[in-house]
C-alpha cells in the first residue's frame, strides 16, 4: 500500500481550512498539513487545522518545515519544535522532522518524549535537495535509518534526468524500513506515479494543477482518474511513451482508458527522456537491467524514433517492415526481457487506404520526405502502389526514392498530379497543420473527383487539403484515422490484446477538437 498524500500549504488559517475541505472531496489517503506556510502560526490555529482534517477521518502528517529545507517561513527552531510536540499531543498520525534537526538531541529529544506518550504517532525523518539528486542516496538512507530504526525515512531530491529515478527504485527494493522517496521536477514524475508498484510509502499529489507544493507533483485527480492509482499494485505491468517534450501526448489517456475498460493490469505513464541519444540509451539500459520493475513496452515519438531503432538493432530484433524505415515508434519487452521494435505508422497508413481503395498498381503521390513519409512509402511500395515522392528539398526525395525503389520529383511540379491522373495523394508534409490552417500542399485545381486524398496532418482534423478534396468529390482520409490505426496496432503489439477502438477515437477526437 502506498498512501496518496496531498500537502496543504496556505498562508492563513481560513484559506488553510477551506483547502482541507476542498481536498477532502478527492479522498486522499493522507493529508500533510504544511504549517510552516502560515503567517501567524499559533497553537489555536494548529488545533483548528487538525480538528478540521480529523472531521473528515483522514490521517494527517504535521510538518513545520525548516526554511533551510524548503520551508516557507523562517520560524525559529523553538517554534517548529513546539508545533511538532503540540501536534503529537493533538493527535497527529505522523510528524515530519528534518534530519539536519533530528541529529541535534536538543531538537529531537522533546519530540521523542511527546511521542512516547502517543505510540500511534509515527516519526518521518526527512532530507531534501531541490537542486540535484542525492548522489549518495543509499548512504544517506543508512545514516537516517541508523539514527532511528522505527522512523519512516523521507528523501526528496530533484531529478535532472529521468535516469535519476532509478537509484530511488533500487533503494526502495532493498529498503529495511518504510521509505518515502520523491524525485522532484518534470523528470521525476515516473517515481510519483508508480509508487504502489515499487513500495514507496507515500506519494505526494497536488490538490489541483498549479497548487503543487513541490515541483513535478501530479494532481490527485489525475493520479486517480488518468493514472489508475487504485489499480496499481506490485504486479502491475508498466508501459509508457518516451518523448521530449511529453506533456502534450494523448497516449497516457488512450492506453489507461483502454486498460480500465478491459480490466487489464497495467498503467501507462509519460516518460520525459531528454532529446539526446546518451540519455535514451541510458534509460533503456536502466530499464533492461531492472526486469523487476515490470516495464513491458513503450511508444516512442519525437525525437527518439531513430535512437530507438538503433538501440533495438543492437539489443533486440527489428520487425522486417520497419528495417527500411530506419525508425521505430514501438518497443515491446517480452516476459523474458527480449526487445522487439516495430513501426506502426506503417499499419496506420495502409489500413485506412485498404478500406476505401485499391492500392496495387495505384498511381500514388507522397508529398514530403520526412519521418512519416518513410513509413508511408514503405507501406505503399510493399503493397504494390506505383509511388512518386514529391518534396521541397529534392535531394531528400531522391534519397527516399532510392531506398524504396520508386520515383521522385520536386514539389514545385505538383500540378503533374492532374495531368498524369494520379489515383492516391498522401500529404506527409506539415503544411496545413495548426496554426497554418489556411495552407495546403496541393492547389485545388490539381484534385480530381476520382482521387483518394489522405492527409496525415491531424491537427486540425479537417485540413484545407481535405476540405478542397471533398469539394471536388474526391474520397478523403484524415490524420486521425492514421493515428487511430497505428495506435490500435501498437496496443496489440504491446499488450497482446485488442484495444477498444471506440474509446481511442473518442479520446483523440475530444483532445483534438479542444486543442
Ligand atoms: P518531418 O520529418 O519534419 O518532415 C516534414 C516534411 O514536410 C519534409 O518533407 C519537409 O520538406 C516538408 N515541409 C515542411 N514545411 C514545408 C513547406 N513550407 N513547404 C513544403 N514542404 C514542407 O516531419 P514528419 O515527422 O514526417 O511529420 C510530418 C507530418 O506528419 C506532421 O505535420 C504531422 O502532422 C503528421 N503526422 C501524422 C501522424 C498520424 O498518425 N496521423 C503521425 C506522425 C506525424 P523538406 O524536406 O524540404 O524540409
| pLDDT per position as a tens digit, 22-43 | 999 999 999 999 999 999 899 9
Cα separation, 482 vs 479, in Å, equals: 5
Mean of the pLDDT values across residues 311-339? 97
Whether 388 and 408 have beta carbons less than 8 Å apart is answered as yes
Gap from CA of 369 to ligand 1 centroid (Å): 8
**Cβ contacts of residue 285 below 8 Å, gap of 6+?**
none
Higher pLDDT, 512 or 234: 234
Look at residue 515 in the predicted model and tell me its pLDDT: 65
Gap from CA of 282 to ligand 1 centroid (Å): 29
- Is-catalytic flag, 197? no
Cα separation, 7 vs 27, in Å, equals: 13
Strand partners for 219: 206
Short-list 160, 148, 53, 168, CA closest to 96: 148
Look at residue 511 in the predicted model and tell me its pLDDT: 86
The one catalytic residue in 149, 305, 398, 418 is 305
Share of the chain above pLDDT 90, in %: 95
Gap from CA of 457 to ligand 1 centroid (Å): 8
Q: Which CA distances in Å does 210 have to 10, 189, 293, 469?
A: 13, 15, 30, 43
Confidence of residue 512 (pLDDT cuts 50, 70, 90): confident
* Residue 245: HSE in the Cβ half-sphere, 13 Å Cα cutoff: 5
Nine-digit cell string for 269: 505513464
Instruction: Ligand 1 pocket test: pick from 347, 426, 429, 440 the residue with the most ligand atoms within 8 Å of its Cβ.
Output: 429
Mean of the pLDDT values across residues 320-327? 96
**Cβ contacts of residue 106 below 8 Å, gap of 6+?**
none
Q: Is the CB of 430 under 6 A from ligand 1?
A: yes
E strand residue ranges, 420-501: 424-427, 452-455, 475-477
pLDDT tens digits, one per residue of 472-511 = 999 999 999 999 999 999 999 999 999 999 999 999 988 8
Mean of the pLDDT values across residues 179-196? 98
Q: Is the CB of 483 under 6 A from ligand 1?
A: yes
Whether 468 and 447 have beta carbons less than 8 Å apart is answered as yes
Long-range contacts from 9-16, C-beta under 8 angstroms, 24+ separation: 9/34, 9/37, 9/72, 9/213, 10/37, 10/38, 11/37, 11/38, 11/39, 11/72, 12/38, 12/39, 13/38, 13/45, 13/48, 13/49, 16/45, 16/49
**3-class DSSP state of 191:** helix
Amino acid at each position: 500500500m502506498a498512501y496518496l498524500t496531498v500537502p496543504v500549504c496556505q498562508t492563513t488559517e481560513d484559506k488553510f481550512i477551506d483547502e482541507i475541505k476542498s481536498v477532502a472531496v478527492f479522498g486522499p489517503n493522507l493529508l500533510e498539513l504544511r504549517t510552516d506556510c502560515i503567517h501567524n502560526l499559533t497553537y489555536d490555529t494548529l488545533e483548528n487545522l487538525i480538528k478540521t482534517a480529523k472531521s473528515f477521518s483522514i490521517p494527517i502528517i504535521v510538518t513545520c518545515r525548516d526554511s533551510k529545507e524548503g520551508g516557507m517561513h523562517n520560524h525559529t527552531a523553538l517554534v517548529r519544535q513546539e508545533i511538532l510536540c503540540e501536534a503529537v499531543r493533538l493527535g497527529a498520525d505522523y510528524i515530519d522532522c528534518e534530519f539536519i534537526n533530528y541529529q541535534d538531541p536538543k531538537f529531537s529529544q522533546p519530540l521523542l518524549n511527546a511521542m512516547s506518550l502517543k505510540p500511534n504517532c509515527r516519526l518521518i525523518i526527512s532530507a531534501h535537495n531541490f537542486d540535484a539528486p542525492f548522489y549518495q542516496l543509499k548512504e544517506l538512507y543508512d545514516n537516517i535509518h541508523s539514527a532511528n530504526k522505527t522512523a519512516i525515512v523521507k528523501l526528496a531530491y530533484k531529478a535532472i534526468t529521468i535516469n535519476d529515478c532509478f537509484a530511488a527504485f533500487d533503494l526502495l527494493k532493498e529498503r529495511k524500513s518504510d521509505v518515502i522517496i520523491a524525485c522532484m521536477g518534470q523528470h521525476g514524475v515516473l517515481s510519483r506515479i508508480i509508487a504502489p508498484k515499487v513500495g514507496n510509502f507515500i506519494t505526494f499529489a497536488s490538490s489541483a494543477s498549479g497548487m503543487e507544493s513541490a515541483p513535478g507533483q501530479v494532481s490527485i485527480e489525475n493520479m486517480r482518474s488518468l493514472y489508475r492509482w487504485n489499480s496499481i499494485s506490485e504486479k502491475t505491468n508498466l508501459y509508457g511513451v518516451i518523448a521530449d517534450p511529453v506533456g502534450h501526448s494523448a497516449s497516457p489517456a488512450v492506453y489507461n482508458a483502454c486498460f480500465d475498460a478491459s480490466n487489464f493490469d497495467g498503467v501507462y505513464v509519460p516518460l520525459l527522456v531528454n532529446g539526446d541519444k546518451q540519455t535514451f540509451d541510458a534509460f533503456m539500459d536502466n530499464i533492461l537491467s531492472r526486469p523487476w520493475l515490470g516495464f513491458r513496452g513503450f511508444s516512442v515519438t519525437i525525437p527518439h524514433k531513430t535512437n530507438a531503432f538503433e538501440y533495438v538493432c543492437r539489443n533486440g530484433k527489428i520487425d522486417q517492415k520497419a528495417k527500411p524505415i530506419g525508425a521505430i515508434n514501438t518497443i515491446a519487452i517480452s516476459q523474458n526481457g527480449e526487445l522487439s521494435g516495430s513501426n506502426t505508422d506503417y499499419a496506420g497508413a495502409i489500413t485506412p487506404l485498404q478500406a476505401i481503395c485499391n492500392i496495387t498498381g495505384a498511381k500514388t503521390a507522397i508529398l514530403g520526405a520526412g519521418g512519416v513519409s518513410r513509413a508511408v512509402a514503405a507501406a505503399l511500395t510493399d503493397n504494390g502502389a506505383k509511388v512518386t515522392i514529391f518534396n521541397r528539398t529534392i535531394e531528400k526525395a531522391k534519397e527516399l526514392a532510392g531506398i524504396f525503389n520508386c520515383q521522385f520529383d520536386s514539389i514545385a511540379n505538383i500540378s503533374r498530379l492532374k495531368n498524369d491522373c494520379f489515383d492516391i495523394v498522401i500529404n506527409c508534409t506539415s503544411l496545413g497543420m495548426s496554426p497554418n490552417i489556411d495552407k495546403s500542399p496541393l492547389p485545388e485545381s490539381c484534385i480530381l473527383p476520382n482521387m483518394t486524398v489522405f492527409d496525415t496532418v491531424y491537427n486540425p482534423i479537417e485540413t484545407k487539403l481535405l476540405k478542397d478534396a471533398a469539394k471536388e468529390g474526391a474520397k478523403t482520409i484524415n490524420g486521425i484515422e492514421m493515428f487511430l490505426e497505428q495506435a490500435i496496432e501498437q496496443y496489440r503489439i504491446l499488450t497482446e490484446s485488442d484495444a477498444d477502438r471506440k474509446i481511442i477515437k473518442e479520446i483523440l477526437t475530444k483532445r483534438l477538437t479542444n486543442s
